[in-house]
Every structure is written in structure tokens, then in C-alpha cells.
Amino acid sequence: MLSSAAFFGARRRFFCVDFTRPHRGNTTATYVTLINFTEHGARNIKDTIKRTDAAKQASAAAGVTIKDVFWTQGQYDIVIISESNDEIAANAVVLNAVKAGNVRTQVMRAFTAAEMQKILDKIP
């Protein structure tokens, strides 16, 4: 199976989530979202904190908690750590942000040590 970076090309980052292993149940899932500004978003860089605050409020209303936001140097402009027990809501929040045209995103499901141990327990 091709990775999303291989499929879309290393230079272009889009919203992607591995749906082959969707989150299910009442356990809260953690997501790491890697963000790059689009040209439009870079032109409006002075509004990035306001847009992030608005995204936090919209996320909370949808049942998604944004735990941390970091503006970064290097390959990605922003890294967001979020949690949700509703995979559909988590994906809708990200798609809504992409729809605004300021960012491109890549989303990764993150696992705690306890969650990883449950995964490892299923490996014969």
C-alpha cells in the first residue's frame, strides 16, 4: 500500500487519515495534525492565531478537544495535538479547516503506550 506522501507526492500535503484502522468505541483517540500554510494562508499570516482560536471553538462545539498547538520551523508550519472519541467529528473538523483554504493538513492517529501494548498483544 502506498503511503499518502507517495500517493500525493512529497511536495503536496493534503488531509489524509488511514481508514483501514478506524477508531471505534468510547475511548478517546489522539490525533497529530501536521499543517502547512497555503499561499492564501501565508498572505494572511497575521491572522493565524485568530484562526486557530476560532478552530479551537469550532472543534469544541463538534466534540473535538485541541490539546496543544505549536507553530514550528522546518517542514511543517503548525502541529496540532487533538483528542476525540468521535472519528467522524474529528475528520469533519479537519475538512472544515481545509475548506477555508488557508492550510493543507496531514492527520495521523497517535497511540499511547497502553494502546500500543493492546496492539502488540494481538501479534502472535
What are the pLDDT digits (tens) for 39-69? 999 999 999 999 999 999 999 999 999 999 9
Paired with 33 in beta bridges are: 80, 107
Higher pLDDT, 64 or 3: 64
Single pTM value for the model: 0.76
**pLDDT of 27:** 80
Rounded to whole angstroms, the Cα distance separating 107 from 17 reads 6
Rounded to whole angstroms, the Cα distance separating 40 from 92 reads 21
**pLDDT of 14:** 42
Rounded to whole angstroms, the Cα distance separating 65 from 108 reads 15
Rounded to whole angstroms, the Cα distance separating 30 from 110 reads 5
| Over residues 13-34, mean pLDDT | 63
Q: Do 72 and 10 touch, CB atoms closer than 8 A?
A: no
Structural domains present in the chain: 4-121 (3.30.70.920)
SS3 67: strand
